[in-house]
Amino acid sequence: MSFSISVRLMPIESINPATGKLLRSFKPLSEEALREKIGVAAQAFRTDRNTPVEHRALCMRKLATLLEQEAAELAHLMTAEMGKPITAGLEEVKKCALVCRYYAEQAPRILAPEPVLTEASHSYVRWEPMGVVLAVMPWNFPLWQVFRFLAPALMAGNVGLLKHAPNVPQCALTIESLTRRAGFPRGSFQTLLLEAHQIETVLGDPQVAAVTVTGSEAAGRAVAAQAGWLIKKSILELGGSDPFLVMSSADLELAASTGAKARCLNSGQSCIAAKRFIVEKDVYDAFVPRFVTAMERLRVGDPRDPETQIGPLATRRLLSDLEAQVTSAVNAGARLLTGGRRLRRDGNFFEPTVLEGVPRRCPVYREELFGPVAMLFRVDSVDDAIELANDTPFGLAASAWTRDPAEQQRFLSELECGSVFLNAMVASDPRLPFGGVKRSGYGRELSAAGMREFMNAKTVVVGAPSPPQAARPTKR
């Protein structure tokens, strides 16, 4: 007698975070349907890897054009599914088009064989695609997070399987539709509507070569552990608690206004948002009121309004977690300078908030705050600023504000992170590598470095031809 255990899959729901209303509901893929899609992806790779890069570039440029032409509809979709302010949504779509055009233009250069001078007749590095790559992506930038994987992966000749966050299924399906309409063959990029536990099935399939994860530390640990066991390549871009350092020589007005923008980027729901503001004591009392005022002036409201700067948090759980973190910090001795509460209205809205003097013993001191909440710290010197900036398990990026060349060099060399921006807000750029160190993850996205993460650097060596041998006389 045999028994079978069936797992009841819960529906994947798209809920408007500004109203709490259900937009659409989707049924997750069955195991049979999932296996079929993986097979289609594997078959697509066998074809795509031999497609001329010029043809892939043509499709990628078409994809950029579609994004530009349909920017308004795509921005409204992000606003509806995860509450992104409409102006920020339009900028996100434009950035997706930019990364598509970047790789369409630069792929021939990045993929070109690299000659290496050796004693051999000829030697070089040949860049080859790895195969089917699983992308586990987050909700906070529903299009950009995917396109910064999609563009280099498809231009390299890889194929993609997208497991998007469960609260943005319409965005996920739209991305697949856009790639098909741009001319990429069937199976080149597919969206998998899955529950989290089904990721194990996808990664465990021998036809899947690698995985990239952008998301929480817990998600990264789980996927990376399985990938390591299976000896499959993985890239992790996880959380961040980025420092924003302000020294006595800084332009305080510019630093304060930029700092508020950097903290509340994407309604504060960004891994590279500035979260810890570390200010030298000589300018602390001058910087704080400027910064608090800049935070209070940010407009919170309907994300469909072009004037809105901060929309709702993406989920009810995020709202509850952020509120609990602020309460924990205040109970531990932190001082609340502004905000600190959810707004009394429909939707997941939280006030722009500034905390001062969060004690080191408080868990919030080292946690990631995913919402419009900033922490202020006073330091005595550049040494103290660097020590505090590095006193975190994360290491994604840092923004340092100083006009002192010596301080600038120290920040560049001593801050433990993947990126340092001097007198500028941290941002990702298709032309530059993006990624972190420590518990912010490993590997890089974007630029040539990101494209080559999922490629085989194959060494080719051609020996010198043997000299012709003299013909032996024949016996008669």
Render pLDDT for 123-182 as a digit per residue (tens, 0 to 9): 999 999 999 999 999 999 999 999 999 999 999 999 999 999 999 999 999 999 999 999
- Same domain? For 249 and 330 the reply is yes
Structure-derived torsion over alpha carbons of residues 186, 82, 435, 382, reported in degrees to the nearest 10? 170
For the chain, the average pLDDT equals 95
Residues 194 and 249 in one domain: no
Q: How far apart are CA 299 and CA 278, in angstroms?
A: 25
Mark whether 89 and 219 lie in a shared domain: yes
70 assigned to some structural domain: yes
Residues 117 and 191 grouped into a single domain: yes
pLDDT, position 161: 98
Cβ contacts of 352 within 8 Å, gap of 6 or more: 260, 264, 295, 296, 298, 300, 310, 338, 339, 372
pLDDT at 9 over 90: no
pLDDT (0 to 100) of residue 465 = 77
Q: How many domains does the chain have?
A: 2
Q: Examine residue 299 and state whether it is found in any structural domain, yes or no.
A: yes
For residue 317, is pLDDT > 80? Answer: yes
pLDDT digits (tens, 9 = 90+) for 411-421: 999 999 999 99
pLDDT at 5: 43
How many CA atoms lie within 13 Å of 357's alpha carbon, on the beta-carbon side?
Answer: 9
- What's residue 10's pLDDT? 86
Is 470 a member of any domain? Answer: no
Residues 6 or more apart whose CB falls under 8 angstroms from that of 7 comprise: none
Q: Cα–Cα distance between 10 and 5 in angstroms, integer?
A: 16
Cα(79)–Cα(312) distance, integer angstroms: 10
Going by pLDDT thresholds of 50, 70 and 90, the confidence category of residue 327 is very high
Which DSSP string do the residues of 396-441 spell out, in sequence order?
Answer: SEEEEE---HHHHHHHHHH--SSEEEESS-----TTS-B--EETTE
Kindly state whether residues 56 and 105 are assigned to the same domain: yes
**pTM score:** 0.94
Q: Could you tell me if 202 and 292 lie in one domain? A: no
Is 5 part of any domain?
no
Q: How far apart are CA 133 and CA 234, in angstroms?
A: 9
Indicate if the alpha-carbon torsion angle 282, 286, 288, 294 is positive or negative. Answer: negative
Q: Are 56 and 184 found together in one domain?
A: yes
Considering the candidates 271, 280, 367, 407, report the single residue annotated as catalytic. Answer: 271
Catalytic residue among 81, 92, 237, 323: 237
Residue 3's pLDDT band (cuts 50, 70, 90): very low
Spatial contact of 352 and 264, defined as CB atoms under 8 Å apart? yes
pLDDT of 2 higher than 80: no
202 shares a domain with 66: yes
Joined together, the tokens standing for residue 179 give 């790639």
Packed helices 53-69 and 169-181: angle between N→C axes, nearest 10 degrees = 130
Same domain, 123 and 169: yes
State yes or no: is 323 an active-site residue: no
Count of other CB atoms within 10 angstroms of residue 442: 17
Say what the pLDDT of residue 470 is: 59
**Residue 307 placed within a domain:** yes
Asked if residue 460 has pLDDT above 60, the reply is: yes
* Residue at 82 is within a domain: yes
Chain centroid to Cα 54, Å, comes to 27
My answer on whether 334 and 449 are in the same domain is: no
Domain extent, residue 410, equals: 242-422
Residue 471 lies in a domain: no
Question: Does the structure show a pLDDT above 70 at 306?
Answer: yes
CATH number at residue 352: 3.40.309.10
CA quadruple 404, 409, 412, 414: dihedral sign: negative
Strand partners for 252: none
CATH at 79: 3.40.605.10
Same domain for 219 and 83? yes
What tens digit of pLDDT does each residue of 33-81 get?
999 999 999 999 999 999 999 999 999 999 999 999 999 999 999 999 9
- Asked if the structure places residue 468 within a domain, the reply is no
> Are 253 and 133 within one domain?
no
| Residue 68 among the catalytic residues | no
